[in-house]
Structure 1
């Protein structure tokens, strides 16, 4: 297939991909395509999926194989989503555990982060602490076992294809890891200052609102925890964020742009 302009940050769950990608996208004025923010949007465009509990009950290896199969199916949807943004030659920074080295032969700029098992556990525990999710808590050990299989797969595929892989230890030096990611990706062409940069940040914020609301309804959460939204000022290199719920976001921006500073 013909790919739109993309650079990838992939790797196993809990490696800090999302945080690093958000910071890099804002410093370099890159459109950000965090695959997890399109999870519910993709469900209706794919064949029916087995419940996650059933996948995990089949064992770590089978659950990991299923994750990879679903990731390959979603890859075409990710590419279609990026095309719909109308970015031209400006690459979208695509981030998510669904990106594997074996899928990236046509992606020249890509890097994979592989976390230590302790770091993966800490990251999943931190996510669970943000909201009351009993089903998520019950799945924790099964997910961690699957994550370990996925981490080994990423390492193996990266070595086989000579792609950049960065190990994330139990006590990460995030500044050094971020610098290594930037080195691996090389020079990046971002969006110019102005309304188009603001429009792309708003597009990403609206995707976060949609995903949050659908997740809330799916797990029956009484109230969403606040999370960070990017400033939509359109200034180059803006790192400002604003924290709130999707409803708060709608109120804060009104009919215009969210100005976080």
Structure 2
């Protein structure tokens, strides 16, 4: 694995998608396996219960859960049978103290204003009253997690990138590229095509389970990668899981 970690709202997902497609790397966002992991983990308190105990308690709970999930992430990545090609793993669950043996990793940490903006933009896409109600608690927890990432990055000598309220995404992306180096790539053609479809199907599964869990009448569109198998293809199509299934008339999503 190579990692992009950091606190919520730092642009990790967008940068990881961009790099994975330009570099022909398998993409593995931890959040796309959330519901898969729930069934493989011991019973846990709810997020609302953790937040009710205060931001420090909620942050500690998040770290404990993240350590358990890291083992599951490793199992998931091994199950993809990628050989020498590393998966580009992205998520707030990845902390510098967990990265022993990971040669290439970087952490993005946003300021409080950037985190708030990112969370409010996500809430604006769907009708989620419970998410809106716990916004302030999440933001307080996020601040604790951001400080933890900063401390651990210094302690473990890891690359940390601060993301301001007016980020220069070109500069930030270039810094991430430098930190990750030049990892081996997937072979263009069938293998690259299969991995992109694997990622798209994971996004469909996660989206449908999320919709069922919070009772959404419909899902908002979200991005799916082109499955053409061409090296460096960064074409993206946005839609719902049902639309994705309907678009793959020949078994593959080709949009470039």
3-state SS of 1:222 partner: coil
Q: Does 1:153 align with 2:148?
A: yes
Structure 1 residue 189, shift from structure 2 partner: 1.3
Give the distance between the partners of 2:165 and 2:236, measured in 1 at CA.
27
TM-score under structure 1 length normalisation: 0.97
Give the distance between the partners of 2:52 and 2:248, measured in 1 at CA.
44
> Who is 2:168 aligned against?
173
3-state SS of 1:181 partner: helix
Give the distance between the partners of 2:127 and 2:113, measured in 1 at CA.
22
1:22-171 superposed matches below 5 A: 22-171=17-166
> Who is 1:228 aligned against?
223
Give the distance between the partners of 1:137 and 1:209, measured in 2 at CA.
24
> 5+ unaligned residues in a row in structure 2: which ranges?
none
> 5+ unaligned residues in a row in structure 1: which ranges?
1-5
3-state SS of 2:85 partner: coil
Structure 1 residue 49, shift from structure 2 partner: 1.2
Give the distance between the partners of 1:83 and 1:248, measured in 2 at CA.
30
C-alpha distance after superposition, 1:59-90 (max 9, x if no partner)? 00000000000000000100000000010000
C-alpha distance after superposition, 1:229-258 (max 9, x if no partner)? 000000000000111100000000135110
> Who is 1:187 aligned against?
182
Give the distance between the partners of 2:163 and 2:111, measured in 1 at CA.
6
> Who is 2:213 aligned against?
218
Aligned pair count reads 256
TM-score under structure 2 length normalisation: 0.99
**RMSD in angstroms over aligned alpha carbons?**
0.6
C-alpha distance after superposition, 1:130-187 (max 9, x if no partner)? 1110000001000000000000000000001110000000100001000000001111
Structure 1 residue 188, shift from structure 2 partner: 1.7
C-alpha distance after superposition, 1:79-119 (max 9, x if no partner)? 00000001000000000000000000110100000001000
> Who is 1:246 aligned against?
241
249-258 or 143-152, larger mean C-alpha shift: 249-258
3-state SS of 1:171 partner: coil
